[in-house]
Structure 1
């Protein structure tokens, strides 16, 4: 056992950040792996809890296990409960746990656009600690890539203006790294590029110190449009995604390897290397050729772009494209592409196993190591839901399936960090469990450590949640979305697969529990989130009343129901405004702080607003919608008011509703909102418990549709 290694020092520092002076009650020691498995041990020795692990991540996982199992305390990204008991509970003997999962991957490219584009070091430091506490050892790490690409472009002779047309705005950068778009939301301020190169190094240094193996960027073949003029003889293909066109170098063109070499050199110079590289050339695009020889050459070229500079390179590949472009990706094409790379130098991420697994359809990825992954959240939308059973059963079923191939671990690849911490907890734990869990008892246990001790009302609330919102996986990006954030009209209807009255019962149980648990941060978040979902669903009642009144040409009834709908939106805005995680104002202020001039602040604020609303110009409108205070009152409420005004003109004045005219007016409003600079509260207002209680009293107990 070692007590003075970098891993031990890193684990101690994490404990001190998390627990303050109470960290003195813990000692950390480094031990060897359990064969080829990561491992941690827990033991009480005299007056201290001793935590052993083979690296900082294993020790941190051990600390978190102790906090949950012995102290009933919880660390999450959405509400904490870490006020330790006066005396640390003793451990009987030595508790030892090893992980079957060699790789525990975390983060989706999209999360860098939907959750983390505006984060500073203090926010990243908290996330890295959270990752370590949950055993993550392979996080995607692409912060600061813009500095790498700027250097590559300069070496290729591009001007600052041309580079500015290639590098996208901050929330759109990850879509550039996946080859989806160029330049949208730019140009990036030089101060941003410099500061995020520094931030990227800080992130990597901390992750490495804890024993993580960060997954960095690999060259995909996607190149700036300006290069087609600078290298007119180079063979390039155009690739289309939604409303953007980008350029892809042909894998056989000599320029492909030249740029790959430059990219690897510049990245290594700035950020070092851990030999794992993410590269996704066709995440949601159709390749320019379906010839198996082309796909084989492309696979070889991408891998050679990494391995020539780094012979130990491992390509980490998202297999989402096989599902998204399933008509294109036939089995011969999948095989040709994957077989181009040595098995042990590629890891396939099966991105949505909770709903649409690819591993069986793709013949277990033809011998490649692969990870069972869960997306859970698309666009970092705010909703309550997820498939606990699917995670629990799905992982265990595949582990015992004789056709599973080379399964090497798990990945949590949510497009945003999300608002369902219970899903995170189960997903991360499954990497350290050799048997499935009884979800009913596990959910009861979750409520216990999330709030600090057992409470019958809180347990009943979680029993209800487990039987409603957490009974099925998220099936598509717009699953469970409210009337409130949809484009105003009568066409779209929410897709809710549970009884809203039952979910309201969970809210009522939580209010009963609030007398005992109301001061706990994690409880307050959950109470607000449950109440928000019930009220958000309930908007459908007033929406249906409006639609019926419109069909019957009843102006008075329409007026009453539409006023109820608009007031409900404002009430939800007030409720979520009690939590920092649900504030538009905090997001906007985080974005603006990176600008050094008024113009820089303005372009960054535009990016922050645009990604939440229109996204592009028209086709992805509302993809990353949020039920946030400020966004509800300042955007969704106003959109619905405009729609209601148009309907009222028909009912009261006989002016026929013109949907085309309304949508044009709505587009003008949405574009103007992204350009605007009005401010919203960036600090929570009011008591979560008090507001949730008042909303319950106001809306009563019948929340059915």
Structure 2
């Protein structure tokens, strides 16, 4: 069928040289562990795509046959979809590429949708329809990298295999072939450093709780909030291995943390002759010390690290390392020499491996990129759609291969939106210009499982050719997302295209503004997180009509998790946006000493919070109780379960210590979830308004409140948190619309 947006690249010319796997075959059970002695990574499984289809399409998987195309040297991944009614054939270069072809068929032929935030497949007919003509696609770039270093914290450090299995399936459907895996990295450090004089207890005290481990792996912090248990290390190692093996089965590459010098305390004392460089502080936390990469001690630790990693997870071909991340100090070590030492150690363990490094702030400097083998480095750029002055990454990084990347989400904020016009304007231009070293895309929101439209649109950049027509793309999205065309769905998404998804990097932001309900109370608050936009990046009044349009979508298209998720997101965002309209009015009333108006406006504020709490409580993915229960499930006893819950809750609230909270980390990971909105957030604002009202009545300054003490007390006893959704999303969204229209 004709595509309303830019055309997909021509794929396979035929089906010669392919191996077939029918979905009706019996899939293998379990996961076969990699043998470290083999020295080679596990090969893709011939049945992996079929097994994924069985999980994703339990009623239809038997109608799909997957075939593996013969790979041609230097050729990009490609797929081809053919078949007849009730018998669809998907041919692709790898199992994951075959799944990408399946998603292309589902979107363009059946108007079905599977994302990491809602799906629509129940409307599929008993027998799958045949494509009117063969569908073909090919990747326009070799690297399709996904997940941020912070993902294992902000998305969920305590996710189980059921979650990861589905997440990997969805990533494969969307064409990604390189996935960052942090789960279980703690076990590698624990094993390796026992060879250098550290006891089990010392290392477990150094390793942070799972929710905070990403920043330890980035060399920002350690030893918070409690020592990890041995059983937790072992359990996370098993999960990490399972994730890696599934990726290998699908022909995807696990991108594992490399080692660039982070060491536990007292390394010099335990290893005479070693040379470490103090790293100072990071936002209120003491950073771990850095072992000089030029030394023999560095080479020996690196060898032990990679050996332990291979034993636990098997080898891979890509290793993520961010030398001197966010203020790291080289001391008197020349940065170029340090980079050479890190690279040499990696090559000794894995000669052909690629060093993956984040493009963030001033990293990587040319001192790094000029010192290493550029063809074995990949910069995953986190700022492509953030700053307008970024126009020539070839010059910035000396023609080092890089990816076009986006970080549309910080801290897991529930904010809707992304700079999609920048994607349309820049990706193809940068990829095809003379001398380009752009070699891929990197999808890196700090938390995943949000903004499903942005997720799908960004993913398709790597599988398309030519100009991107956003108007046509969002129109087609409204059809495939809900199963059929609907004028109200189309109108809703066109409104969203022009507002939340119509922002650009001209204002030097890549994320939408968070709401003020999650801010630590202050009448002058401009954002909840210290480093978030201080104002909405579009007009709130222009956004709200999308809610009415979604509510008017015809009833038969409302019965999917995709529709319910979008309706909740839009209603939640409309409520959240009102916080920015209302708070300045509250301040005006207080400053004027108008107690009656102050009372009326603060009642409205709390009413909006109560309505928001009811709305988000209808969805399991918006329940704080689920997040806490996930953590508790990993504990071996009551005491450990309490420690893990504390690890989770601190990340979303104070983030860490008082000094870190005061330095700006508090509410960095704010989100509009049931249990947070109606719990801590409402508690804070109600107490604040009460204090202000008393000050008005008595003609004095308001009392000072120790907010950290309030927050810490709530973290330790948040009360009963719901783990199951309650209420009807549609009915409550309709009440949201009625309330907003009446006020």
TM class, shorter-length? over 0.9
Aligned residues: 686
- Answer whether contact 1:167 1:187 (CA < 8 A) is retained: yes
In the TM superposition, residue 85 of structure 1 has moved relative to its aligned partner by: 2.3
Between stretches 140-149 and 91-100, larger displacement belongs to: 91-100
Match of 2:738 in 1: 697
Shift of 1:675: 1.8
Match of 1:365 in 2: 397
SS of the aligned residue for 1:348 comes to strand
Matched, 1:2 2:34: no
Q: Does the CA-based 8 Å contact 1:566-1:641 persist in structure 2?
A: yes
Aligned counterpart, 2:557:
517
Within the candidate set 143, 159, 163, 2:183 is matched to 143
Q: Is the 8 A contact 1:350 1:358 kept in 2?
A: no
Give the Cα separation in 2 of the matches to 1:162 and 1:31. Answer: 51
Q: Is the 8 A contact 1:170 1:185 kept in 2?
A: no
Shift of 1:7: 4.2
**Aligned match for 1:451, one of 462, 478, 482:** 482
Q: Which residue of the partner structure matches residue 385 of structure 1?
A: 417
| TM-score calculated relative to the size of structure 1 | 0.94
> Would you say 1:280 and 2:322 are equivalent positions?
yes
Which consecutive residues of structure 1, in runs of 5 or more, have no partner in the other structure?
324-328
Distance apart, 1:695 and its partner CA: 2.1
Deviations 1:650-692 (A, max 9, x none): 111223124xx22x2x121011122225221111101100111
- 2:589, 2:598 within 8 Å by CA — same for their partners in 1? yes
Take 2:354 and 2:59, find their aligned partners in 1: how far apart are those partners?
41
Bigger drift between 100-109 and 666-675 goes to 666-675
What do the CA deviations read for 1:161-199 (whole angstroms, capped 9, x no partner)? Answer: 321231011111111111111111231121110111111
Q: Of residues 524, 528, 545 in structure 2, which corresponds to 1:491?
A: 524
Correspondence 1:538 to 2:569: no
- 1:333-376 CA-to-partner distances (Å, cap 9, x unmatched) read x3332122112211111112011375726615213221111111
CA distance in 2, matches of 1:170, 1:307: 29
How far does residue 156 in structure 1 lie from its aligned partner after superposition?
1.3
| 1:212 corresponds to which of 252, 264, 269 | 252
Q: Structure 2 CA distance, aligned partners of 1:52 and 1:182?
A: 47
- Measured against aligned partners, the alpha-carbon deviations of 1:308-330 in whole angstroms (never above 9, x if no partner) come to 1111121111121426xxxxx7x
Aligned to 1:426: 457
1:575 aligns with 2:620: no
Q: State the Cα distance separating 1:6 from its structure 2 match.
A: 5.0
2:289 aligned counterpart, secondary structure: strand
Residue 95 of structure 1: aligned partner:
135
Residue 81 of structure 1: aligned partner: 120
The SS at the match of 1:308 is: helix
- Tell me what 2:514 maps to: 481
Quote the offset at 1:33 in angstroms: 3.6
CA distances 1:491-529 after superposition (whole Å, capped 9, x unpaired): 222511222222110001111115342222111111111
Match of 1:20 among 58, 78, 95: 58
Q: Which runs of structure 2 are paired with 1:527-676 in the superposition (5 Å)?
A: 527-617=567-657, 618=661, 619=663, 620-658=665-703, 661-662=704-705, 664=706, 666-676=707-717
Question: Is the Cα contact below 8 Å between 1:468 and 1:503 reproduced in 2?
Answer: yes
Match of 2:382 among 351, 370, 377: 351
1:106 counterpart residue number:
146
Distance between the aligned counterparts of 2:345 and 2:198, measured in 1? 21
| Paired position in structure 2 for 1:43 | 82
CA distance in 2, matches of 1:127, 1:453: 25
Deviation at 1:479, TM superposition (A): 4.2
8 Å Cα contact 1:376-1:473 kept in structure 2: no
Residue 473 of structure 2 is aligned to residue 442 of structure 1: yes
CA offsets, 1:74-129, max 9 Å, x none? 00111110122233222234222111110100001101110030100000000000
Q: Where does structure 2 lack aligned partners over 5 or more consecutive residues?
A: 1-17, 22-42, 527-533
Task: State the SS of the aligned residue for 1:28.
Answer: strand
State the SS of the aligned residue for 1:91.
coil
Q: Aligned runs of 1:399-410 on 2, under 5 Å?
A: 399-404=431-436, 406-410=437-441
| CA shift digits 1:631-654 (9 cap, x unpaired) | 001111111111111111111122
Q: CA deviation at 1:436?
A: 2.2
Other-structure match for 1:376? 408
The yes-or-no answer on 1:225 pairing with 2:268 is: no
Q: Which residue of 2 aligns with 1:70?
A: 109
Map of 1:318 onto structure 2: 358
